[in-house]
Amino acid sequence: MTFSAAKETGGSRAVPVGRKGGGAVADLLRNGTFIVAVLYVILFVVNAALQSKALNINSVTNLVNNAAPLAIASAGQALIVISRGFDLSVAGVVSLTNVLIAAYPIKGPLGALAALAMALSVGGLVGLVNGFLVVKLRMQSIAATLGTMIITQGLALVILDAPKGSVADWLADEMTDRVFGYVPVAGLVVLAVVVLWLIARRTDSVVGLYAVGEDEGAASLSGVPVQAVRMKTFVAAGLLYGLAGFMLSAQTATGNPNAGTPFLMLSFAAVSLGGVSFSGGRGSPVGAIIGAATLMLLQKVLFSGGVSSFYTGIFQGAVLIAAIVFSGLISKLGSRRGMT
Amino acid sequence: MTKTSASRLAVPADTRSSARFRSETLAVAMTFVISIILVIASGFISPALGSWSQVYTILTLASFLVVVAFGQGLVILIGGLDLSIASVIMLGGVMVTAWSGSGYPQILMIAAVLALCAGVGLVNALGTLWLKVPPFIMTMATGIIVASSALGYTSGTPRGVTPELFTWLMKSEVAGIPTILIFVGLFVFCGAMLQGWTSFGRRLQAVGTNISAARVAGLSVSLPVVAAYVISSVCAGFAGMMLVGYANGATLRMGDSYLLPSIAAVVIGGSSILGGRGSYIGTVGGAVLLTTLGTVISALGIEQGWRTVIEGSIIIAALLLLNETFMSLLGGPARR
Amino acid sequence: MTNMKSLVRGAAAALLGAATLAGLAAGTASAEDKKFKIYLAMSYSGNAWQSEAANIVKALAQTAPYDKMVELKEVISGTDPQAQIAAYESMIEDGADGIVSFPISSTALNRTIKKGCEAGVLFFMYDATVTEPCAYNVSYLTSGFGENSAQALVNELGGKGKIFLSRGVPGNSVDQRHTDGAMSVFKKYPGIEVVAEYYSYWDDRTTQQETAKALAAHPDVNGIWAQAGEYGAIQALKDAGKPLVPMTGENSNGFRLALKDGLKGVSAGSPPAQAGYAFKLLMEILQKKRELKPMNIEYPLPWVPADQVKVCAGDKIENGCNVFPDGKVPSSFVTEVFNPELLPELSLASALDGKPTPGATIQPLPADVKQGENEPGINCEDCQAPADLYHLTKVQATVQP
């Protein structure tokens, strides 16, 4: 019985694709990623209708640049949530990589490469520590990552005690620019993450990831190397957080020891919006990426719609709830028997 | 579709089986022992520390977290999460300040505000039950809505009068003992009884362990869920009122610094974030540990960054210590 | 039963969605040309300081003749710099004429601000500053709160004693500047010992809790240097049953009343009035009544020592009064939201509720604008700080080290 396909579409548990009936369309409707994509398109259309300048290339580039850091971080968070865990260290890793890149800027394209390498190493290292705490020392993921988050936040504060420093010009300019005049570089980076996922999806580790998230005991009995899978998941997530910190540095072009704090709540919101279930074993990082983009787009839509002052918060909360209910309903549409 | 797993089948529903009882009590005792060690160790930092007056200060400061963490613990026990407590703490504080001194009897106003907070909890519960919105999103959304509404209602400056009841609670003494400590003692006793020794508490645990199995066994799932969220919001609102009594005023951000610590206290206290297991005494231990740690750390004369690193390391160390004890006693499956 | 539930859920979603769309449709303002489009771009919200600052801008925008000239919109983006970047971008896209803002970061917003300047938008920052040269900074930050208040405390203590440092938010440049200024004075006196340094997040409650913790460790403190939230320190001292020691803090009503009642010290610190000043300057430039290139504008440091506290009789700050009676406003109310010289159009209702004062009209600002000193990392990028950055302007040392 194959786990992967059914799990990733966010469909019901342990039932192979096709058996629920309804065919390809129904499968699509049950797919959490597809639903959030539809949501995004609807919001985009509303935004364009309210604000005529929304379709010009500068606005689109701004949109992509703005969403890219959260999108990449949420992809990492999605991996952990799929494995039925919580990763609070996202906030600390993003802050730490941001201050490192701003405190030690290196010029030119090679400098940017060095910065990227530094960001990935820091993220990967924290991921390793998380994995060690959770897998070897048997801590709850929320507890272990709470600890690593506080420690990495502290380290960020040690390196930069206030917002200062500046990111190397090449990095900040190029990563927020466009290639061929039309394609935002940040968008290409996010696309690269998506492609990597599509390739990794077929590997044993990822299939194992879904199995472990769904039912760790059963997965272990089926021969899935649970410890190795969990370890790899934490490292992969850490790498993604590092990349997110790298992209954030390009956007703000400066260092801020508290840069990662907003990512904590937002990454979970993006993950949930993207159809990833907190009970594990379901959903896709691609959904989380689109979920993040939706959250950022929502701010713009509310702005264009003239929502101002404290009403913005009220609308944000209401739309968040409406969006989740909406996805749930569409998902139901795709199941003839209405399984929970 | 039921979720079963080899490790979960082994968990007994009756928490009074002796082996579990012993190990859990030991783990909980460990949190208090660590706090005591920290207090004594802090005596090396400054001569005035490691004293009874420091202990009184810590317990007073911890009282808010102890109250809030009870509600959060119940929600986590049923497998949910309450991210709205920061806003509800603020709601309780701001509204009780605004409505006191309006001429109506104090008790009536306090009850009305608590009812308002309970309403928020009800919305949370119904959102997760009927609308099937995951608790994370539902409570986060209600939190944002409540915070924004309060901002609009007060135009940014909460005005009013501090209710005397809470000034008395936080600042007075009864027979030489600070009233707040007596209150905390009573609250902890009642809370621990409710969660650990009543059928209500066991019902919550059953729902958290396996919601589908609970349904199949004929237990009503809605009532425990609603009760948990409502209690959580009422606790948060009450804590807000306590804060108003303590600080003689309300501000719109007063609840923010209690959200993450409330979850941390519950987790450090031994509850599983996924639900189905946890004791309130453990949570209290976690709350006291966090407050003690914060107090001792801020007495260190080093820069903030390093203080934070040390704080995080001690939290991890404490968690490991608690886990090893549990592990070695049962020699069994890991806590997740 | 399942169908019923789906129906309920469907109805709920539809209602929420419809309400949202209705709200959006109603909110889309019809284009009114000739009115200046001004955005009030806030980041933090929900403390008295921020709300008072926003309220007076709103009140000014509704005061004649601005009420016919200005379309003011308030946007709150929270503590996430990315959210404020997105907000600025939306405002620039929307064709804003001017943006009055409390920036959440002194550096992260620069690139977006630069793009805005190129599109012809005027940026006026109040209190917090940015290092982008094309933005106007209206701030008291350069007037030396830290060093002046520290010297005043040292004078009170006769040059020796144990003190607490109650700071702001860790990792914030305003907190850093204040603390650096204060430490430059404290370091000169070997008799002054900083026994506790904690972060109070500019909040009364947090100040109270952190001060309580510090008192547990050092019950024999002689003085407290505090940033905003100082009223909490007074509460902590009272809670611990201690006599009130000399304190310097910012401008809360509760603190000033305590100064009147015998507390020794000085009330200085951040005035929300900066927002009103920034707004009026922006409007005068837009109306071509004033020509001003982007620069750092210094707002004078409020300075009220204990012997100069005077209670106001009415709802206005006039006749030299500088604090409201107990009960008229909460103790956390920041009193320096008025300025009879620069902002005569305001009254208590403006600060508390954002309402214009009946019968008031906008008065022109004094022609002179004070230039603020260069402070690298705070209000300029490639610049040098003057050699005597921490020189005293409000007090002289009465005690020598």
The ipTM estimated for the assembled molecules is 0.82
Task: Confirm whether A8 is domain-assigned.
Answer: no
Judge whether residue A9 has pLDDT over 50.
no
- Considering chain A, what is the average pLDDT of its residues? 86
Q: Which residue has the tokens 């420091």?
A: B54
Structural contact between residues B223 and B200, judged by C-beta atoms closer than 8 angstroms: no
Choose the weakest-confidence range: A179-193, C51-65, C122-136: A179-193
Residue C45, pLDDT score: 79
Look up residue C169 and give its two tokens.
């938010």
Pairing of strands C122-126, C136-139: parallel
Subunits in contact with chain A (3 or more CB pairs closer than 8 Å):
B, C
| Residue type (1 letter), B206 | A
Residue B5, pLDDT score: 45
pLDDT (average), residues B70-78: 94
Give the confidence band of A1 by pLDDT, cuts at 50, 70, 90: very low
Residue B325, pLDDT score: 55
Structural contact between residues B287 and B34, judged by C-beta atoms closer than 8 angstroms: no
Which residues in chain B are closer than 8 Å to C235, comparing Cβ atoms? 247-248
Closest CA to C223 of C303, C131, C159, C290: C159
Residue A171, pLDDT score: 86
Half-sphere exposure of A333 (CA within 13 A, CB side): 15
Judge whether residue C26 has pLDDT over 70.
no
Alpha carbon distance C131, A164 (integer Å): 10
Stronger pLDDT, B327 or A217, i.e. the higher one: A217
Residue A4, pLDDT score: 42
Residue B327, pLDDT score: 55
- Report DSSP state, residue C311: B
Domain spanning C144-267, CATH architecture: 3-Layer(aba) Sandwich (3.40)
Judge whether residue C352 has pLDDT over 80.
yes
**CA closest to C169 among chain B residues:** B304
Q: What is the pLDDT of residues A123-176, one digit of tens each?
A: 999 999 999 999 988 888 999 999 999 999 999 999 988 777 888 888 888 888
CA A177 to chain B, closest CA, distance in angstroms equals: 34
Residue B2, pLDDT score: 45
Residue C356 has φ and ψ, to the nearest 5°, of -70, 155
* Cβ–Cβ gap B308/A161 under 8 Å: no
- Report DSSP state, residue C304: E
* Cβ–Cβ gap B137/A320 under 8 Å: yes
Q: Could you give the C-alpha distances from A214 to A81, A82, A131, A277, B78, in angstroms and in order?
A: 11, 8, 19, 10, 19
Judge whether residue C200 has pLDDT over 50.
yes
Alpha carbon distance C58, C157 (integer Å): 42
**Residue B114 falls in which region: left (phi positive, over 0), alpha (psi -120 to 50) or beta:** alpha
Stronger pLDDT, A16 or A309, i.e. the higher one: A309
- Report DSSP state, residue C317: -
Stronger pLDDT, A249 or B54, i.e. the higher one: A249
Residue B317, pLDDT score: 86
Residue C27, pLDDT score: 45
Alpha carbon distance B322, B310 (integer Å): 18
Alpha carbon distance C314, C135 (integer Å): 38
Length of chain B: 336
Q: Hey, is B214 helix, strand or coil?
A: helix
Give the confidence band of C29 by pLDDT, cuts at 50, 70, 90: very low
Tell me the torsion sign for CA atoms A176, A182, A185, A187. Answer: positive
Which residues contact residue A192 at a Cβ distance below 8 angstroms, ignoring those fewer than 6 apart? none
| Residue type (1 letter), A157 | L
- If you count residue pairs, one on A and one on B, with CB atoms under 8 Å apart, how many are there? 165
Give the confidence band of A231 by pLDDT, cuts at 50, 70, 90: very high
Alpha carbon distance B30, B24 (integer Å): 10
* Cβ–Cβ gap A66/C89 under 8 Å: yes
Q: Which residue has the tokens 């993040």?
A: A292
| Residue type (1 letter), A205 | S
pLDDT (average), residues B305-312: 90
Task: Confirm whether A5 is domain-assigned.
Answer: no
Q: Hey, is B165 helix, strand or coil?
A: helix
Task: Confirm whether A237 is domain-assigned.
Answer: yes
Which residues contact residue A55 at a Cβ distance below 8 angstroms, ignoring those fewer than 6 apart? A48
Which A residues in the span 230-269 are in contact with B, Cβ-Cβ below 8 Å?
A: 257, 265, 268-269
* Cβ–Cβ gap A314/B144 under 8 Å: yes
A66 touches chain C (CB under 8 A): yes
* Cβ–Cβ gap A50/C24 under 8 Å: yes
- Report DSSP state, residue A107: -
Alpha carbon distance B155, A326 (integer Å): 33
CA B243 to chain C, closest CA, distance in angstroms equals: 8
Judge whether residue B334 has pLDDT over 60.
no
Judge whether residue C166 has pLDDT over 70.
yes
Which residues contact residue B87 at a Cβ distance below 8 angstroms, ignoring those fewer than 6 apart? B142, B143, B144, B146, B147, B150, B255
* Cβ–Cβ gap C90/A304 under 8 Å: yes
* Cβ–Cβ gap C199/B294 under 8 Å: no
Residue B65, pLDDT score: 96
B310 touches chain A (CB under 8 A): yes
* Cβ–Cβ gap B136/A14 under 8 Å: no
Q: Which residue has the tokens 């956390």?
A: C332
Choose the weakest-confidence range: A53-57, A157-161, C248-252: A53-57
Look up residue A144 and give its two tokens.
């272990």
Class of domain B25-36+50-328: mainly alpha
**Helix-strand-coil percent breakdown of chain A, rounded to 5?**
75, 5, 25
Give the confidence band of C10 by pLDDT, cuts at 50, 70, 90: low
Q: What is the CA radius of gyration of chain B?
A: 20
Alpha carbon distance A279, A272 (integer Å): 11
Residue C21, pLDDT score: 57
Alpha carbon distance A88, B220 (integer Å): 34
Nearest to B308 among A12, A153, A217 (CB): A153
Choose the weakest-confidence range: A301-315, B8-22, B130-144, C262-276: B8-22
Task: Confirm whether A15 is domain-assigned.
Answer: no
Residue C52 has φ and ψ, to the nearest 5°, of -65, -45
pLDDT (average), residues C267-275: 93
Give the confidence band of A11 by pLDDT, cuts at 50, 70, 90: very low
**CA closest to A332 among chain C residues:** C6
The gap from C-alpha C195 to its chain's centroid, in whole angstroms, comes to 28
Residue-range definition of the domain harbouring residue A106: 20-333
Alpha carbon distance A303, C242 (integer Å): 51
Alpha carbon distance A271, C228 (integer Å): 37
Alpha carbon distance B239, B255 (integer Å): 9
When divided into structural domains, chain A yields a total of 1
Choose the weakest-confidence range: A322-331, B158-167, B322-331, C220-229: B322-331
Give the confidence band of B17 by pLDDT, cuts at 50, 70, 90: low
Residue C313, pLDDT score: 87
Domain boundaries, chain C: 144-267
Judge whether residue B81 has pLDDT over 70.
yes
Nearest to A321 among C16, C26, C170 (CB): C16
pLDDT (average), residues A288-317: 88
Give the confidence band of C8 by pLDDT, cuts at 50, 70, 90: low
Task: Confirm whether A3 is domain-assigned.
Answer: no
Residue C121, pLDDT score: 95
Pairing of strands A254-255, C122-126: unpaired
* Cβ–Cβ gap A166/C176 under 8 Å: no
